[in-house]
Amino acid sequence: MEKLFSFIEQGFQEMVNIRRYLHQHPELSFEEVQTPAYIAAFHRALGHEVREHVGERGVVAVLRGGKQGKTVALRADFDALAIQEENDVPYKSQEDGKMHACGHDGHTATLLGLARAFNTMKEDIAGNIVFIHQHAEELAPGGAKAMIEDGCLEGVDVIFGTHLWAPTPLGKILVRDGAIMAAADRVEITIHGKGGHGAEPHHSIDAVVLAAQFIVNAQQLVARRVDPLKSAVISFGHFEAINPFNVIAERATLLGTVRTFDESIRNQLEKELAAVLQANCMAFGASFDYRYVRGYPPVYNHKKETDFVAQLAVDVPGVSDVITCPPMMIGEDFAYYLEKVPGTFFFTGAKNPAWEMAYPHHHPRFDFDERAMVIAAKLLGKATWHYLQDNQ
């Protein structure tokens, strides 16, 4: 381990350089061209087997060790978000309206740095390491499912992944077996009323009022229809009815998300949201369009692999604490990998101790402590090494 850790530490500046280069040149989900080409070129220079355009835009690189053994997959995502960066840093995004606001640039740099470290000692590796570089994590249907269908998990025995997590202080590792992240679904609604003059509401069917009533009523599904010992979230982040101030809206559009862990609750809310919407609209003679789009399933970590990583994390240099975290209502298409092979997904704390606050993920001023990449690489590397050594 000391040898691997030493190589990772020596490669820290390269990781920083990679991360900052990618940060300056973000590409949105399903629009990635230069990023996967950059990743593929990096692995080819190391002599790894490389396959591009996996599942459309993903990259899979394979390092074959000098000894026979099992196969471990490590995954990092590389897409950015449609956000205008507000940070004043030398590596600020050079693309208007695009930003790595979730740490995927750091995920990629971590995995590339780890790939170089492992490559220097490949003759000692008892098995194979598959580096899965995934496109389009941020936008359903995501890249994971398509990459799996294109064979990225063929021959893989176990998979590990991590998310650099800015709200958690540097040095802390968050783990959890079972459900750690929620199913993330999308709701699209249009309410069709009857427009009219703002002074004569009795001649109209106000789509804005109906939409507002529906949003409030929808919250009662969580409060009064969902088992209080189970979790669910219904949030509407988009409400649009473009009209002059004195015109009653004929049409209102809502976009929202539903987050659940339990499949029965997921099914229940899909049906009951439609029932509440129908009741609201029927009462006042309006019509509606309703579309419930299934997003990523919940992320369910396998207990054996989660315990394995948690035990190893305690002795990783830079790790100060290993915490069993509560389930989170955020979504991740890493869930698809865990449906196919055993593995675990954990969070690596990335908040700089000197910062009074850390801006949340998906914020225009998001950033993270780059030293977290070394900790993440060491833990992923240690888990990979020990798994292969223990299963010869």
Q: CB neighbours of 329 closer than 8 A, spacing ≥ 6?
A: 181, 182, 231, 233, 259
SS3 for 42? helix
For the question of residue 270 being annotated catalytic, the response is no
Report the DSSP beta bridge partners of residue 163. Answer: 347
270-303: string of b/e by CB count within 10 Å (b at 16+)?
A: beebbebbeebbeebebebebebeebbbbbbbbe
Given the residues 79, 367, 369, 370, select the one marked as catalytic: 79
| 161 Rama class: left (phi>0) / alpha (psi -120 to 50) / beta | beta
Which DSSP state fits 312?
H
Round to whole Å and give the CA distance between 300 and 335: 7
69 and 155 in contact (C-beta within 8 Å)? no
383 and 302 in contact (C-beta within 8 Å)? no
Given the residues 32, 77, 137, 370, select the one marked as catalytic: 137
| 103 Rama class: left (phi>0) / alpha (psi -120 to 50) / beta | left
31 and 135 in contact (C-beta within 8 Å)? no
Q: Which residues are catalytic?
A: 79, 137
